[in-house]
Amino acid sequence: MMTKEKASSVLTGVAGEYYVAAELTRRGYIASLTMRNTRGTDIVVTNGSSSRHAAVQVKASRKKKRSWMLSNKDERSLSDTHFYVFVNMVNDKPPVYHVVPGHVVAEVLRRGFQEWADTPGRNGHVRNKNNRIRIFNDEDGKYIDRWDLLGLDPIEEDIDVE
């Protein structure tokens, strides 16, 4: 049986995925939710002509703080077309989307963990470098609504008409 806290966490994640899919659709893209066991991808999105695509991993939170918990697996970028969309869903306010390239997330997590691991903990104790928890934050809002980073708009191509 699922605890109330676990159920709430699962529902937050599912709501985040649907919010992101709806927002992508609202913007004119084709968004498809993947099966639950698809590694690193919650949504596959393409532009209207299907000439460009992106894989989106969604992380949702109901907290005011713009930070999300990830794992050490997220320190590896999967591809140039892999993105994270971090969603803040606070109270009855509209969701806030943070669109971040996967390689940026990977670098921030690697660097942040290394800084954490190299800094002595409380009372000077050595930190556990096997800790798998990683934190990504966008406190300055640099990635809010950066849907352009997905690169889904078609490239203008010169077409020779004879």
Q: What is the pLDDT of residues 52-86, one digit of tens each?
A: 999 999 999 998 888 999 999 999 988 999 999 99
The CATH code of the domain that includes 74 is 3.40.1350.10
- The CA angle 145-149-154, to the nearest 5 degrees, is 115
Please tell me the predicted confidence (pLDDT) of residue 52: 94
| Residues 144 and 96 sit within 8 Å (Cβ to Cβ) | yes
Is position 159 within any domain? no
Q: What is the pTM of this model?
A: 0.86
Please tell me the predicted confidence (pLDDT) of residue 158: 47
* pLDDT per residue as tens digits for the range 96-141: 999 999 999 999 999 999 888 888 888 888 888 888 999 999 989 9
Is position 85 within any domain? yes
Please tell me the predicted confidence (pLDDT) of residue 30: 95
* Continuous segment of H or E residues that includes residue 68: strand 67-71
Is position 113 within any domain? yes
Is position 156 within any domain? no
When divided into structural domains, the chain yields a total of 1
Domain span at residue 22 reads: 4-150
Is position 67 within any domain? yes
Is position 158 within any domain? no
